[in-house]
Structure 1
Amino acid sequence: MESKKTHTVHEPDLEYSNYSYADYLTWEMEEVVELIKGTIFKKAAAAPKRLHQRISAKLLTRLYVFLEHRTCQVYSAPFDVRFSKKSTEDKKIHDVVQPDICVVCDTEKLDERGCIGAPDLIVEILSPGNSTVELKHKFDLYESNGVREYWIIHPETQDLLIYNLVDGKYVPSRLFTSGDVVESTVLKGFALDLEEFFGDME
Protein backbone atom coordinates (compact mmCIF):
# COMPACT_ATOMS: atom_id res chain seq x y z
CA MET A 1 0.00 0.00 0.00
CA GLU A 2 1.48 3.32 -1.05
CA SER A 3 1.90 5.77 1.80
CA LYS A 4 0.61 9.31 1.39
CA LYS A 5 3.18 12.10 1.38
CA THR A 6 2.50 15.02 3.66
CA HIS A 7 3.62 18.49 2.72
CA THR A 8 3.08 21.50 4.92
CA VAL A 9 3.52 24.98 3.48
CA HIS A 10 4.05 27.82 5.94
CA GLU A 11 5.52 30.50 3.66
CA PRO A 12 4.28 30.06 0.10
CA ASP A 13 6.38 31.25 -2.81
CA LEU A 14 4.53 34.33 -4.09
CA GLU A 15 6.08 33.86 -7.55
CA TYR A 16 4.53 30.41 -7.93
CA SER A 17 1.22 30.32 -9.80
CA ASN A 18 -0.30 26.87 -9.48
CA TYR A 19 -1.44 26.70 -5.88
CA SER A 20 -4.62 24.87 -4.93
CA TYR A 21 -7.11 25.10 -2.10
CA ALA A 22 -5.28 22.14 -0.51
CA ASP A 23 -2.14 24.32 -0.33
CA TYR A 24 -4.14 27.31 0.89
CA LEU A 25 -5.40 25.31 3.88
CA THR A 26 -1.84 24.66 5.07
CA TRP A 27 -0.63 28.26 5.09
CA GLU A 28 0.05 30.14 8.29
CA MET A 29 0.10 33.77 7.20
CA GLU A 30 -0.73 36.98 9.01
CA GLU A 31 -2.16 38.59 5.87
CA VAL A 32 -5.48 37.59 4.34
CA VAL A 33 -4.80 36.01 0.94
CA GLU A 34 -6.93 34.90 -1.98
CA LEU A 35 -6.20 32.51 -4.83
CA ILE A 36 -7.12 33.37 -8.42
CA LYS A 37 -6.07 30.87 -11.07
CA GLY A 38 -3.56 29.44 -8.61
CA THR A 39 -1.87 32.79 -8.01
CA ILE A 40 -1.75 34.39 -4.56
CA PHE A 41 -3.24 37.84 -4.09
CA LYS A 42 -2.56 39.44 -0.73
CA LYS A 43 -5.18 41.69 0.75
CA ALA A 44 -3.98 44.87 2.44
CA ALA A 45 -1.74 44.09 5.41
CA ALA A 46 -3.44 46.76 7.52
CA ALA A 47 -7.00 46.39 8.73
CA PRO A 48 -9.67 47.94 6.47
CA LYS A 49 -10.46 51.58 7.12
CA ARG A 50 -13.21 52.45 9.56
CA LEU A 51 -15.50 53.69 6.76
CA HIS A 52 -15.07 50.39 4.91
CA GLN A 53 -16.10 48.50 8.05
CA ARG A 54 -19.11 50.73 8.71
CA ILE A 55 -20.41 50.26 5.18
CA SER A 56 -19.87 46.53 5.37
CA ALA A 57 -21.59 46.17 8.74
CA LYS A 58 -24.54 48.36 7.73
CA LEU A 59 -25.15 46.59 4.42
CA LEU A 60 -24.71 43.16 6.01
CA THR A 61 -27.32 44.08 8.62
CA ARG A 62 -29.79 45.29 5.97
CA LEU A 63 -29.33 42.10 3.96
CA TYR A 64 -29.59 39.86 7.01
CA VAL A 65 -32.87 41.44 8.11
CA PHE A 66 -34.26 41.28 4.56
CA LEU A 67 -33.30 37.61 4.14
CA GLU A 68 -34.44 36.41 7.55
CA HIS A 69 -36.93 33.54 7.12
CA ARG A 70 -35.97 33.25 3.43
CA THR A 71 -33.88 30.59 1.71
CA CYS A 72 -30.97 32.85 0.77
CA GLN A 73 -28.20 33.38 3.34
CA VAL A 74 -25.74 36.27 3.66
CA TYR A 75 -22.12 36.04 4.80
CA SER A 76 -19.27 38.49 5.29
CA ALA A 77 -15.49 38.13 5.14
CA PRO A 78 -13.60 36.16 6.25
CA PHE A 79 -15.62 33.55 4.36
CA ASP A 80 -14.06 31.32 1.71
CA VAL A 81 -15.79 31.12 -1.66
CA ARG A 82 -14.32 28.32 -3.78
CA PHE A 83 -14.86 28.21 -7.53
CA SER A 84 -14.41 25.03 -9.53
CA LYS A 85 -16.26 23.87 -12.62
CA LYS A 86 -14.69 20.41 -12.84
CA SER A 87 -14.03 19.02 -9.38
CA THR A 88 -14.72 19.77 -5.73
CA GLU A 89 -11.46 18.14 -4.61
CA ASP A 90 -9.31 20.59 -2.63
CA LYS A 91 -6.23 19.95 -4.76
CA LYS A 92 -8.15 20.71 -7.96
CA ILE A 93 -9.58 24.04 -6.81
CA HIS A 94 -7.39 27.00 -7.80
CA ASP A 95 -9.76 29.90 -7.13
CA VAL A 96 -10.56 30.88 -3.53
CA VAL A 97 -11.70 34.40 -2.66
CA GLN A 98 -13.13 36.21 0.34
CA PRO A 99 -15.70 38.75 -0.84
CA ASP A 100 -16.66 41.47 1.61
CA ILE A 101 -20.26 40.25 1.45
CA CYS A 102 -21.94 37.45 -0.47
CA VAL A 103 -25.44 36.02 -0.70
CA VAL A 104 -25.99 32.33 -1.41
CA CYS A 105 -29.47 31.14 -2.34
CA ASP A 106 -28.63 27.51 -3.15
CA THR A 107 -27.84 26.16 0.30
CA GLU A 108 -26.46 22.95 -1.25
CA LYS A 109 -23.37 25.04 -2.05
CA LEU A 110 -22.68 25.69 1.64
CA ASP A 111 -20.47 23.54 3.83
CA GLU A 112 -18.53 23.97 7.05
CA ARG A 113 -15.68 25.71 5.19
CA GLY A 114 -17.75 28.25 3.28
CA CYS A 115 -19.25 28.14 -0.21
CA ILE A 116 -18.33 25.88 -3.11
CA GLY A 117 -19.68 27.39 -6.31
CA ALA A 118 -21.00 30.80 -7.31
CA PRO A 119 -22.89 32.94 -4.80
CA ASP A 120 -25.90 34.70 -6.28
CA LEU A 121 -24.69 38.15 -5.24
CA ILE A 122 -21.24 39.42 -4.31
CA VAL A 123 -20.39 42.83 -2.85
CA GLU A 124 -16.84 44.19 -2.89
CA ILE A 125 -16.12 47.40 -0.96
CA LEU A 126 -13.06 49.06 -2.43
CA SER A 127 -10.08 50.08 -0.36
CA PRO A 128 -6.63 51.52 -1.15
CA GLY A 129 -5.30 47.95 -0.97
CA ASN A 130 -7.32 46.82 -3.99
CA SER A 131 -5.14 46.65 -7.10
CA THR A 132 -6.41 47.11 -10.64
CA VAL A 133 -5.06 43.67 -11.51
CA GLU A 134 -6.91 42.07 -8.60
CA LEU A 135 -10.19 43.75 -9.59
CA LYS A 136 -9.82 42.68 -13.22
CA HIS A 137 -9.16 39.07 -12.19
CA LYS A 138 -12.13 39.07 -9.83
CA PHE A 139 -14.41 40.53 -12.48
CA ASP A 140 -13.40 37.75 -14.89
CA LEU A 141 -13.68 35.09 -12.17
CA TYR A 142 -17.16 36.13 -11.06
CA GLU A 143 -18.42 36.50 -14.62
CA SER A 144 -17.05 33.18 -15.89
CA ASN A 145 -18.38 31.28 -12.87
CA GLY A 146 -21.89 32.69 -13.05
CA VAL A 147 -22.17 35.14 -10.13
CA ARG A 148 -25.49 36.68 -11.10
CA GLU A 149 -25.02 40.10 -9.53
CA TYR A 150 -21.79 41.89 -8.55
CA TRP A 151 -21.78 45.15 -6.60
CA ILE A 152 -18.74 47.41 -6.29
CA ILE A 153 -18.98 50.13 -3.62
CA HIS A 154 -16.60 53.11 -3.50
CA PRO A 155 -16.55 54.31 0.14
CA GLU A 156 -14.75 57.58 -0.49
CA THR A 157 -17.08 58.80 -3.24
CA GLN A 158 -20.12 56.98 -1.82
CA ASP A 159 -21.26 55.51 -5.08
CA LEU A 160 -22.13 52.07 -6.39
CA LEU A 161 -21.76 50.16 -9.65
CA ILE A 162 -23.67 46.96 -10.34
CA TYR A 163 -22.88 44.27 -12.88
CA ASN A 164 -25.73 41.95 -13.84
CA LEU A 165 -25.06 38.67 -15.64
CA VAL A 166 -26.92 38.55 -18.97
CA ASP A 167 -26.30 35.61 -21.31
CA GLY A 168 -23.04 34.83 -19.53
CA LYS A 169 -21.63 38.37 -19.73
CA TYR A 170 -21.72 41.22 -17.24
CA VAL A 171 -23.76 44.28 -18.16
CA PRO A 172 -22.84 47.34 -16.08
CA SER A 173 -25.36 49.70 -14.57
CA ARG A 174 -24.83 53.43 -14.62
CA LEU A 175 -22.96 54.75 -11.59
CA PHE A 176 -25.45 55.10 -8.74
CA THR A 177 -24.91 58.03 -6.37
CA SER A 178 -26.69 59.94 -3.61
CA GLY A 179 -30.35 60.41 -4.52
CA ASP A 180 -30.60 57.05 -6.28
CA VAL A 181 -32.55 54.08 -4.98
CA VAL A 182 -30.79 50.88 -5.99
CA GLU A 183 -32.77 47.67 -6.46
CA SER A 184 -31.35 44.17 -6.69
CA THR A 185 -32.47 42.03 -9.63
CA VAL A 186 -31.44 38.85 -7.78
CA LEU A 187 -33.02 39.64 -4.40
CA LYS A 188 -36.46 40.78 -5.48
CA GLY A 189 -37.75 43.50 -3.18
CA PHE A 190 -34.38 44.51 -1.75
CA ALA A 191 -33.69 48.21 -2.30
CA LEU A 192 -31.09 50.64 -1.01
CA ASP A 193 -31.69 54.39 -0.80
CA LEU A 194 -28.11 55.64 -1.19
CA GLU A 195 -28.76 59.08 0.27
CA GLU A 196 -30.18 57.50 3.42
CA PHE A 197 -27.60 54.67 3.47
CA PHE A 198 -24.56 56.96 3.21
CA GLY A 199 -26.18 59.80 5.15
CA ASP A 200 -24.37 59.17 8.43
CA MET A 201 -21.09 57.98 6.90
CA GLU A 202 -18.20 60.26 7.84
Structure 2
Amino acid sequence: MAQQLQERAELQRSGSTLPRMTYEEFLDWADEDTWAEWVDGEVIILSPASLLHQALDTFLLSVLTSFVSFRDLGIVLGPPFQMKTGPDLPGREPDVIFVAREHLDRLRDVYLDGPADLVVEIVSPDSRTRDSQDKLHEYEEGGVPEYWVLDPFRREAKFYQLGEDGSYYFVAPDENGVYESAVLKGLRL
Protein backbone atom coordinates (compact mmCIF):
# COMPACT_ATOMS: atom_id res chain seq x y z
CA MET A 1 0.00 0.00 0.00
CA ALA A 2 2.80 2.44 0.86
CA GLN A 3 4.47 1.72 -2.47
CA GLN A 4 1.17 2.31 -4.30
CA LEU A 5 0.79 5.70 -2.58
CA GLN A 6 4.36 6.65 -3.46
CA GLU A 7 3.85 5.65 -7.12
CA ARG A 8 0.62 7.65 -7.27
CA ALA A 9 2.31 10.74 -5.83
CA GLU A 10 5.19 10.45 -8.30
CA LEU A 11 2.79 10.15 -11.26
CA GLN A 12 0.83 13.19 -10.10
CA ARG A 13 3.99 15.29 -9.59
CA SER A 14 5.47 14.32 -12.95
CA GLY A 15 2.30 15.18 -14.85
CA SER A 16 2.28 11.72 -16.39
CA THR A 17 -0.99 10.14 -17.27
CA LEU A 18 -2.23 7.17 -15.35
CA PRO A 19 -2.96 3.91 -17.13
CA ARG A 20 -6.55 3.28 -18.22
CA MET A 21 -8.53 1.34 -15.64
CA THR A 22 -12.00 0.09 -14.83
CA TYR A 23 -14.11 1.90 -12.27
CA GLU A 24 -13.49 -0.93 -9.81
CA GLU A 25 -9.71 -0.57 -10.33
CA PHE A 26 -10.07 3.18 -9.85
CA LEU A 27 -11.86 2.65 -6.52
CA ASP A 28 -9.10 0.26 -5.42
CA TRP A 29 -6.41 2.70 -6.59
CA ALA A 30 -7.86 5.85 -5.01
CA ASP A 31 -7.84 6.55 -1.31
CA GLU A 32 -9.77 9.06 0.78
CA ASP A 33 -7.18 11.75 0.04
CA THR A 34 -7.47 11.34 -3.74
CA TRP A 35 -9.37 14.13 -5.45
CA ALA A 36 -10.07 12.60 -8.83
CA GLU A 37 -12.83 11.52 -11.15
CA TRP A 38 -13.09 8.51 -13.45
CA VAL A 39 -14.26 9.17 -17.02
CA ASP A 40 -14.31 6.46 -19.69
CA GLY A 41 -11.40 4.57 -18.15
CA GLU A 42 -9.26 7.64 -17.53
CA VAL A 43 -8.44 9.21 -14.19
CA ILE A 44 -8.84 12.97 -14.04
CA ILE A 45 -6.94 14.52 -11.14
CA LEU A 46 -8.87 17.53 -9.87
CA SER A 47 -7.19 20.88 -9.26
CA PRO A 48 -7.06 22.27 -5.73
CA ALA A 49 -10.10 24.39 -4.89
CA SER A 50 -9.78 28.15 -4.48
CA LEU A 51 -10.63 29.92 -1.24
CA LEU A 52 -13.85 31.25 -2.80
CA HIS A 53 -14.82 27.74 -3.95
CA GLN A 54 -14.08 26.27 -0.51
CA ALA A 55 -16.00 29.00 1.31
CA LEU A 56 -19.10 28.45 -0.84
CA ASP A 57 -18.82 24.67 -0.53
CA THR A 58 -18.47 24.87 3.27
CA PHE A 59 -21.46 27.22 3.49
CA LEU A 60 -23.67 24.98 1.32
CA LEU A 61 -22.65 21.81 3.15
CA SER A 62 -23.47 23.49 6.46
CA VAL A 63 -26.85 24.89 5.39
CA LEU A 64 -27.98 21.76 3.56
CA THR A 65 -26.77 19.42 6.30
CA SER A 66 -28.69 21.43 8.92
CA PHE A 67 -31.84 21.51 6.77
CA VAL A 68 -31.69 17.79 5.96
CA SER A 69 -30.76 16.68 9.49
CA PHE A 70 -33.47 18.76 11.17
CA ARG A 71 -36.10 17.17 8.93
CA ASP A 72 -34.49 13.70 8.89
CA LEU A 73 -34.56 13.67 5.08
CA GLY A 74 -31.38 11.70 4.36
CA ILE A 75 -27.70 12.61 4.17
CA VAL A 76 -25.57 15.39 2.66
CA LEU A 77 -22.03 14.55 1.56
CA GLY A 78 -19.14 16.50 0.08
CA PRO A 79 -15.85 15.66 -1.58
CA PRO A 80 -14.01 13.47 -1.82
CA PHE A 81 -16.97 11.11 -2.28
CA GLN A 82 -17.71 9.47 -5.61
CA MET A 83 -21.06 9.18 -7.39
CA LYS A 84 -21.57 6.65 -10.20
CA THR A 85 -25.00 7.24 -11.72
CA GLY A 86 -24.93 4.33 -14.17
CA PRO A 87 -22.78 1.49 -15.52
CA ASP A 88 -21.76 3.39 -18.67
CA LEU A 89 -21.39 6.77 -17.00
CA PRO A 90 -18.39 8.42 -15.33
CA GLY A 91 -17.59 8.31 -11.63
CA ARG A 92 -17.78 11.92 -10.49
CA GLU A 93 -16.92 13.71 -7.27
CA PRO A 94 -19.56 16.43 -6.84
CA ASP A 95 -19.08 19.34 -4.48
CA VAL A 96 -22.33 18.51 -2.68
CA ILE A 97 -24.68 15.54 -2.91
CA PHE A 98 -27.93 14.92 -1.10
CA VAL A 99 -29.22 11.36 -0.84
CA ALA A 100 -32.82 11.02 0.33
CA ARG A 101 -33.61 8.61 3.14
CA GLU A 102 -35.41 6.27 0.73
CA HIS A 103 -32.23 6.00 -1.39
CA LEU A 104 -29.67 5.44 1.37
CA ASP A 105 -29.34 1.84 0.17
CA ARG A 106 -27.36 3.25 -2.79
CA LEU A 107 -24.50 4.26 -0.49
CA ARG A 108 -21.38 2.11 -0.56
CA ASP A 109 -18.24 2.56 1.51
CA VAL A 110 -16.54 4.98 -0.90
CA TYR A 111 -19.16 5.89 -3.49
CA LEU A 112 -22.83 6.34 -4.27
CA ASP A 113 -24.04 3.56 -6.58
CA GLY A 114 -26.76 5.42 -8.45
CA PRO A 115 -27.93 9.00 -8.70
CA ALA A 116 -28.06 11.40 -5.78
CA ASP A 117 -31.35 13.22 -5.36
CA LEU A 118 -29.60 16.59 -5.58
CA VAL A 119 -26.13 17.43 -6.88
CA VAL A 120 -24.34 20.77 -6.61
CA GLU A 121 -21.24 21.64 -8.61
CA ILE A 122 -19.31 24.82 -7.85
CA VAL A 123 -17.59 26.09 -10.97
CA SER A 124 -13.86 26.72 -10.99
CA PRO A 125 -12.18 28.50 -13.90
CA ASP A 126 -10.92 25.16 -15.26
CA SER A 127 -14.21 23.30 -14.72
CA ARG A 128 -16.76 25.62 -16.36
CA THR A 129 -17.37 23.44 -19.45
CA ARG A 130 -17.15 20.20 -17.47
CA ASP A 131 -19.70 21.39 -14.87
CA SER A 132 -22.13 23.23 -17.16
CA GLN A 133 -22.09 20.85 -20.13
CA ASP A 134 -20.47 17.44 -19.56
CA LYS A 135 -21.86 16.84 -16.08
CA LEU A 136 -25.21 18.38 -16.99
CA HIS A 137 -25.67 15.70 -19.67
CA GLU A 138 -24.24 12.91 -17.49
CA TYR A 139 -26.42 13.74 -14.49
CA GLU A 140 -29.46 14.07 -16.74
CA GLU A 141 -28.77 10.67 -18.31
CA GLY A 142 -28.03 9.19 -14.89
CA GLY A 143 -31.35 10.40 -13.47
CA VAL A 144 -30.25 13.02 -10.91
CA PRO A 145 -33.57 14.80 -10.15
CA GLU A 146 -32.06 18.21 -9.36
CA TYR A 147 -28.75 19.79 -10.37
CA TRP A 148 -27.35 23.17 -9.37
CA VAL A 149 -24.39 24.80 -11.14
CA LEU A 150 -23.01 27.66 -9.05
CA ASP A 151 -20.41 29.98 -10.56
CA PRO A 152 -19.01 32.26 -7.85
CA PHE A 153 -16.64 33.98 -10.29
CA ARG A 154 -19.48 35.10 -12.57
CA ARG A 155 -21.94 35.35 -9.65
CA GLU A 156 -24.37 33.05 -11.47
CA ALA A 157 -26.51 30.16 -10.34
CA LYS A 158 -28.30 27.78 -12.70
CA PHE A 159 -30.86 25.32 -11.42
CA TYR A 160 -32.06 22.28 -13.35
CA GLN A 161 -34.86 19.88 -12.54
CA LEU A 162 -35.49 16.56 -14.25
CA GLY A 163 -38.83 16.44 -16.04
CA GLU A 164 -41.06 13.41 -16.40
CA ASP A 165 -39.56 12.89 -19.87
CA GLY A 166 -36.10 12.42 -18.33
CA SER A 167 -34.78 15.77 -19.59
CA TYR A 168 -33.45 18.65 -17.53
CA TYR A 169 -35.36 21.90 -17.51
CA PHE A 170 -33.78 25.16 -16.41
CA VAL A 171 -35.71 26.69 -13.52
CA ALA A 172 -35.16 30.38 -12.96
CA PRO A 173 -35.46 31.97 -9.53
CA ASP A 174 -38.68 33.92 -8.93
CA GLU A 175 -39.06 37.68 -9.42
CA ASN A 176 -37.36 38.23 -6.04
CA GLY A 177 -34.35 36.14 -7.03
CA VAL A 178 -35.38 33.20 -4.82
CA TYR A 179 -35.07 29.61 -5.96
CA GLU A 180 -37.19 26.88 -4.35
CA SER A 181 -35.84 23.34 -4.47
CA ALA A 182 -38.13 20.65 -5.87
CA VAL A 183 -36.26 17.88 -4.04
CA LEU A 184 -35.79 19.58 -0.68
CA LYS A 185 -39.31 20.89 -0.12
CA GLY A 186 -39.31 24.18 1.74
CA LEU A 187 -35.68 25.03 0.96
CA ARG A 188 -35.48 28.47 -0.57
CA LEU A 189 -32.27 30.15 -1.66
TM-score by length of 2: 0.79
Partner of 1:121: 118
Measured against aligned partners, the alpha-carbon deviations of 1:115-134 in whole angstroms (never above 9, x if no partner) come to 11100000000011215256
Higher helix content, 1 or 2: 2
Whole-angstrom distance in 1 between the partners of 2:30 and 2:117: 28
SS in 2 for 1:181: coil
Partner of 2:166: 168
Partner of 2:177: 180
- Does structure 1 conserve the Cα–Cα contact (< 8 Å) formed by 2:34 and 2:80? no
Matched, 1:97 2:99: no
Partner of 1:23: 25
SS in 2 for 1:191: coil
- Please show how residues 27-176 of structure 1 align to structure 2 within 5 Å: 27=30, 32-44=35-47, 47-68=48-69, 69-85=71-87, 95-105=90-100, 106-130=103-127, 132-133=129-130, 135-166=132-163, 167-174=165-172, 176=173
Shift of 1:82: 2.1
TM-score by length of 1: 0.74
- Does structure 2 conserve the Cα–Cα contact (< 8 Å) formed by 1:124 and 1:151? yes
- Does structure 2 conserve the Cα–Cα contact (< 8 Å) formed by 1:43 and 1:130? no
Shift of 1:179: 4.9
Whole-angstrom distance in 2 between the partners of 1:77 and 1:43: 11
The alignment yields a C-alpha RMSD, in angstroms, of 2.8
**Aligned length, in residue pairs:** 173
Task: In structure 2, list runs of 5 or more residues that go unmatched.
Answer: none
User: Aligned AA for 2:99?
Assistant: V
Measured against aligned partners, the alpha-carbon deviations of 1:121-173 in whole angstroms (never above 9, x if no partner) come to 00000011215256432122111110000000010232210111111111112
Measured against aligned partners, the alpha-carbon deviations of 1:48-100 in whole angstroms (never above 9, x if no partner) come to 11111111111111111111141321001111112334xxxxxxx76211100
Q: Pick the structure with greater CA Rg.
A: 1
Task: In structure 1, list runs of 5 or more residues that go unmatched.
Answer: 1-7, 86-92, 193-202
SS in 2 for 1:112: coil
- Does structure 1 conserve the Cα–Cα contact (< 8 Å) formed by 2:115 and 2:142? yes
**CA 140–177 in structure 1, closer or farther in 2 if over 3 Å, else same:** same
